[in-house]
Structures are given as structure tokens and as C-alpha cells.
Amino acid sequence: MRIAAIRTEELAAARAADAQAGLIAFHDALFRHARFTASNALRSLLHSLTGGLLIAAPKAASPALSGYYRAATRLAIAFALVADVSLRLLGGSLKRRERLSGRLGDALSQWVLISATLKRFEDEGRPEADLPLVRWGVEDALRRAHEAFEGRFANYPNCFVAGLLRRLTFPFDLRRPAPSDALTAGNARLLQAPTPTRERLLAGSYVSADERDPLNCGERLLRLAPQVAAIELKLRRAVREGRLSAMPQSLAHMPAWAAAAERDGYIDTIERATLDTYARDGAAFMKVDDFPADFGTSAESRSISNSNSVGSSAARKNQRPAEQSTSMNID
């Protein structure tokens, strides 16, 4: 923001009606611009050599996340320096080099995501259970931002300037690792259970009241999953001893298996109803549209579609008299 304001002053001074006053204003803005660029270069070099240890984290911030605040500050300094040098070197051609300018935008957007993630954590009162999610989000955004800088330096039109900028910004740690598998797996488990953390993340999200809605089915499946796991754990000994077949992985076979388990006395009526609901909602949740590979463009596909539609129409015509006859028999 500061460099944008200084550049605006430079442009306004260059267009001033009073040439003498404009020249003085332009020189003042130009020297402030040069001081700002030099300051960013020195700060970037200092923090890159020290790994950001000299950057002061906000006093009100969580101590557990102080390293992320330092990394975000380093990222902001590096972005300001690279963007300023790019504008000086490439000028208006930067706008036409969309991949180069796009990588700058990628780095900036990741910095915004980091800032938003840290701020939300503070605004919500630093819930301890949310720390793994914060760590994953910030580490992933840092990795993506560093990849954007790496791509920019690799494709910079001036190799000397690219090498200089790289050594000033990230001489040792341009590549950052992705979030660890352990952290990712822990977050997956956290979001696959009806936890307060998940409720905070989904606060304000719309879920249809229609029981056939796939999203609604998914929410019910999430609530039923611990109950189904408890039933499976309860029957583990019977399965191990061979008295009962294992719970089927196919949801289509679940109702028949539950009926047999209830008949043999291994589960009660409530547990069977739970398994039946789980199987029904799971099938609705995973149901996908069916269409031919050629999207119905071939004559064969159209003939099959027409025959199916004719069969469906005939079935509907035959169904109505049957329903009427059934109602008459009931009367």
C-alpha cells in the first residue's frame, strides 16, 4: 500500500501543470521510493539470513503461532520487494506477461489467506482444538506462496535480477514442505466426527431439510457413523469366532445382513434401524447420474434412450390401473 501511494505521487508530479513544482514533488517522491526499496531489500536480506527470528510477533497473538506470524511478515516484505523491482524493470510489459503477474497475485492471495486464518483463530478465542487446522492452513498457504515465488524467479526475463531477488528474499528456504501426513490425517479425523470444531467451521452453512438431499444425507451419515462403528465393535467377537459374517462393505448388502443379525439375536431392533438408515442414506449420498460415454450422440445411444423412455411410459400407464384396482380391493 505504501509503494502504491508513492507511485501515485510520482505520476501526479509528472503530470503537474507547474513544471518546477512538479519536478520538486517528483524528486521527493522518487527519493522516498528509493529509500523504501532499499529498506525492503535490507530487511528481506536480514530476515532471510536469520530465518525471521528478529521479527517481532504481535504481543496479543497466540505464542503457539508466533512462527507463522514471522513467516507471514517475511512473505509480505518479499512480495513488496519483488513487486516493486518488477514494476521498475518491466514497466507496462508486466501487465502483458500474465503468468509472471499471476504468480505475484498467487503469492499475495496466499498471504491474505494466512492473515485471515490467523485472525479468525484469534477472533474465536483461540480454541485449542482448532490449532491443527490453523497449522495445516498456514503451512499449505506458505508452501503455495513459495511455489509462486519459485516459478516467478525461474521464468524471470532477467536472470541476474532473478538470482539477486532470490538471494535477497529466500536464499535458503525457497521450497517449503507440504503439511505432514500426520497433521493431515489428524485434521481428517477431526472433520469426520460431529465435533465443536466442525460445527464452528460450518456455522451459517445451508443444509436442506429434504431427506433426499445428498448434503442432508451426508450430515446424517456423519452422525450415524459412531453408532455404526460401535455396533461393528460389539459384533467383532462373534465375527472372529465365525458365528456371524463380517459387516458387508457394500451398502446394498447391509439391510439383509442386519436382518440376519437381528434374527440371530446379535443386534436389537434399534440397532437394525440404525444400520438400515445408514445404508439408505449412504446409497443416496453416493448416487451419481448415469449417462453413456458419448453423451448420447451416437445412433445406438439414442435408440437405447428412446427404448428406455418408451418402457418407462408403458410402465407408468400400466401402473395407474393397478393402483386403482388395489384401492378398489381395499374398499
Whole-number Å distance between alpha carbons of 3 and 33: 7
* pLDDT score for 331: 37
CA 252 – CA 250 distance, rounded (Å): 5
Instruction: Tell me the average pLDDT across 219-238.
Output: 90
The average pLDDT across 55-75 equals 89
Residue predicted with more confidence, 7 or 167: 167
CA distance 173 to 159: 19
Q: What is the pLDDT of residue 83?
A: 86
The span from the CA of 92 to the CA of 88, in Å, is 9
- What's the pLDDT score for residue 73? 92
pLDDT of residue 27: 72
Q: Which residue has the higher pLDDT, 312 or 265?
A: 265
Q: State whether the Cα torsion 233-234-237-241 is positive or negative.
A: negative
Tell me the mean pLDDT in the region 269-275. 94
> Within 13 Å, how many C-alpha atoms sit on residue 304's CB side?
10
**What percent of the chain stands above pLDDT 90?**
39
pLDDT band at 132 (very low <50, low <70, confident <90, very high): very high
pLDDT band at 7 (very low <50, low <70, confident <90, very high): low
Mean pLDDT for 155-181 is: 90
The CA distances from residue 316 to 89, 309, 310, 312, 324, in Å, are 72, 11, 10, 6, 13
- pLDDT-based confidence at 328, cuts 50/70/90? very low
**pLDDT digit string (tens) for 72-94?**
999 999 998 998 888 878 877 77
Identity of the amino acid at 52: G
**pLDDT score of 144 more than 90:** yes
Residue 215 — pLDDT band, cuts 50, 70, 90? confident
pLDDT band at 269 (very low <50, low <70, confident <90, very high): very high
What average pLDDT does the segment 143-168 reach?
Answer: 92
Q: Is the pLDDT of residue 326 over 50?
A: no
Percent of the chain with pLDDT over 70: 84
Q: What is the mean pLDDT of residues 3-9?
A: 65
Is 70 exceeded by the pLDDT of residue 302?
no
Mean pLDDT over each residue of the chain, to the nearest integer: 82
* Rounded Cα gap, residues 177 and 187, in angstroms: 17
Where is average pLDDT lowest: 137-141, 148-152, 258-262, 308-312? 308-312
Task: Give residue limits of the domains in the chain.
Answer: 2-190, 214-286
